[in-house]
Amino acid sequence: MKKFIKISLAAAMSLSVLTGLSPVAKAQDFTAGTYEGTAEGYGGDVKVEVTLSEDRIVGIETDAPNETAGIGDDAIETLTEQVIASQSLNVDVVSGATGSSTGFLAALTAALEAAGVDVAALEEKDVEADTGETIEAQTTDVIIIGGGGAGLAAAVSAHENGAQVILVEKMPRLGGNTIISGAAYNAADPDRQQSIEMTDLEKETVEAIIAEVQDDELVKEWQATLAEEWEAYQASGETYLFDSPSLHKLQTYNGGDKQADPVLVDQFGDQAYEAIEWLEGHGMEFNDHMFTVLGGLWSRAHKPAKPLGTGYVDTLTEYFEEHSDEMQYFLNTEATDLIIEDDKVVGVVVSSNGEDVELRANNAVIVAAGGFGANVEMREEFNEHWPSLKDIKTTNQTGATGDGIRLGQQASANLVGMEHIQLLPMGDPETGSLSGNIEQGVQDRIFVNSEGKRFVNEGERRDVMTEALFDQEDAMMWTIVDQHSYPTGDTKNNFNETIDELIEAGRAYKGDTLEELAEQIGVDPENLVATVEEFNQAVEGEIEDPFGRTLFDNKLDTAPFYAAARKPTVHHTMGGLQINKAAQVLNEAGEPIEGLFAAGEVTGGIHGSNRLGGNALADIMVYGRIAGANAANAGSGE
Residues 538-594 have pLDDT tens digits of 999 999 999 999 999 999 999 999 999 999 999 999 999 999 999 999 999 999 999
Say yes or no to pLDDT of 136 above 80. Answer: yes
Q: Give the amino acid at 444.
A: D
Q: Give the amino acid at 486.
A: Y
Choice between 55 and 597, residue whose per-residue pLDDT is larger: 597
Can you give the residue range of the structural domain that contains 605? 138-183+261-291+302-420+574-633
**Beta strands 592-598 and 355-367: pairing type?**
parallel
Report yes or no on 451 lying in a domain. yes
Same domain, 404 and 438: no
Same domain, 321 and 363: yes
Size (the chain), residues: 638
Name the pLDDT band for 27 (thresholds 50, 70, 90): low
Classify 207 in phi/psi space as left (phi over 0), alpha (psi -120 to 50) or beta.
alpha
CATH of the domain at 97: 3.90.1010.20
pLDDT of residue 128: 52
Q: Please, are residues 156 and 275 in contact by the beta-carbon 8 Å criterion?
A: no
Name the pLDDT band for 18 (thresholds 50, 70, 90): very low
Say yes or no to pLDDT of 241 above 70. Answer: yes
Report yes or no on 596 lying in a domain. yes
Same domain, 588 and 450: no
Residue 4 three-state SS: strand
pLDDT of residue 281: 98
Name the pLDDT band for 129 (thresholds 50, 70, 90): very low
Name the DSSP class of 309.
Answer: T
Question: Got the DSSP string for 345-400?
Answer: EEEEEEEETTEEEEEEEEEEEEE-----TT-HHHHHHH--SSS--TT--BSS-TT-
- Cα separation, 68 vs 638, whole angstroms: 43
C-alpha pair distances (Å), 386 with each of 405, 420, 570: 21, 10, 11
Number of domains comprising the chain: 3
Name the DSSP class of 181.
Answer: S
Q: Please, are residues 301 and 185 in contact by the beta-carbon 8 Å criterion?
A: yes
Report yes or no on 195 lying in a domain. no
pLDDT of residue 6: 62
Q: Give the amino acid at 95.
A: S
Q: Give the amino acid at 235.
A: A
C-alpha pair distances (Å), 282 with each of 163, 275, 313: 18, 11, 12
- At which of 515, 550, 569 does a domain end? 569
Choice between 506 and 16, residue whose per-residue pLDDT is larger: 506
- Cα separation, 318 vs 329, whole angstroms: 12
Phi, psi values for residue 386, rounded to 5°: -95, 160
Report yes or no on 334 lying in a domain. yes
Same domain, 90 and 154: no
Report yes or no on 416 lying in a domain. yes
As a whole number of angstroms, the longest Cα–Cα distance in the chain is 82
The torsion of the CA quartet 575, 578, 581, 583, rounded to 10 degrees, works out to -100
Name the pLDDT band for 447 (thresholds 50, 70, 90): very high
Burial class (CB in 10 A: 0-12, 13-18, 19+), 433: buried
Q: Please, are residues 168 and 329 in contact by the beta-carbon 8 Å criterion?
A: yes
**Nearest to residue 268, comparing CAs of 283, 246, 295, 293?**
246
How much of the chain, in percent, has pLDDT values that exceed 70?
93
Say yes or no to pLDDT of 102 above 70. Answer: yes
Choice between 14 and 213, residue whose per-residue pLDDT is larger: 213
Residues 247-276 have pLDDT tens digits of 999 999 999 999 999 999 999 999 999 999
pLDDT of residue 66: 78
For 170-180, what is the mean pLDDT? 91
Contacts of 34 (CB under 8 A, 6+ apart): 49, 50, 51, 52
For 116-134, what is the mean pLDDT? 69
Say yes or no to pLDDT of 8 above 80. Answer: no
Residues 51-101 have pLDDT tens digits of 988 888 989 999 988 787 667 888 898 899 889 888 888 887 776 677 888
- Cα separation, 355 vs 78, whole angstroms: 22
CATH of the domain at 164: 3.50.50.60
For 281-287, what is the mean pLDDT? 98
Q: Give the amino acid at 322.
A: E
Same domain, 598 and 454: no
Report yes or no on 360 lying in a domain. yes
**Order of strands, sheet of 57-63, starting from the edge strand that comes earlier in the sequence:** 4-8, 57-63, 45-52, 33-40
pLDDT of residue 2: 42
Q: Please, are residues 412 and 446 in contact by the beta-carbon 8 Å criterion?
A: no
For 288-308, what is the mean pLDDT? 96
Instruction: Tell me how many helices (H) and strands (E) the chain has.
Output: 19, 23
Same domain, 555 and 585: no
Report yes or no on 229 lying in a domain. no
Name the pLDDT band for 353 (thresholds 50, 70, 90): confident
pLDDT of residue 126: 65
Same domain, 533 and 565: yes
Classify 481 in phi/psi space as left (phi over 0), alpha (psi -120 to 50) or beta.
beta
**Nearest to residue 635, comparing CAs of 585, 581, 586, 597?**
597
- At which of 538, 569, 600 does a domain end? 569
Residue 591 three-state SS: coil
Same domain, 81 and 178: no
Q: Report helix angle 217-236 to 262-281, nearest 10.
A: 50
Same domain, 269 and 322: yes
For 183-200, what is the mean pLDDT? 97
CATH of the domain at 535: 3.90.700.10
Name the DSSP class of 293.
Answer: P
Active site residue: 462, 507, 566, 625, which one? 462
Q: Tell me, yes or no, if 462 is annotated catalytic.
A: yes
β-partners of residue 167 are 144, 329
Report yes or no on 628 lying in a domain. yes
Classify 628 in phi/psi space as left (phi over 0), alpha (psi -120 to 50) or beta.
alpha
Rounded to the nearest 5 degrees, what angle is found at the Cα of 178, between the Cα atoms of 611 and 614? 35
**Nearest to residue 335, comparing CAs of 151, 182, 491, 585?**
151
Contacts of 440 (CB under 8 A, 6+ apart): 291, 481, 485, 486, 493, 494
Question: Got the DSSP string for 229-283?
Answer: HHHHHHHHT--BPP--HHHHHHHHHHHTTT-S-HHHHHHHHHHHHHHHHHHHHTT
Same domain, 337 and 486: no
Say yes or no to pLDDT of 17 above 80. Answer: no
Q: Please, are residues 46 and 107 in contact by the beta-carbon 8 Å criterion?
A: yes
Instruction: Specify the range with the lowest mean pLDDT, choosing from 23-37, 100-114, 426-440, 497-511.
Output: 23-37
Q: Report helix angle 525-540 to 514-521, nearest 10.
A: 130
Same domain, 273 and 403: yes
β-partners of residue 57 are 52
pLDDT of residue 54: 87
Phi, psi values for residue 5, rounded to 5°: -125, 115
Say yes or no to pLDDT of 401 above 50. Answer: yes
- At which of 542, 569, 596 does a domain end? 569
Say yes or no to pLDDT of 636 above 60. Answer: no
- Cis ω for the linkage preceding 592 (within 30 of 0): no
For 186-194, what is the mean pLDDT? 97
Same domain, 557 and 583: no
The number of CA neighbours under 13 Å toward the Cβ of 456 is 25
Mean pLDDT in the chain? Answer: 92
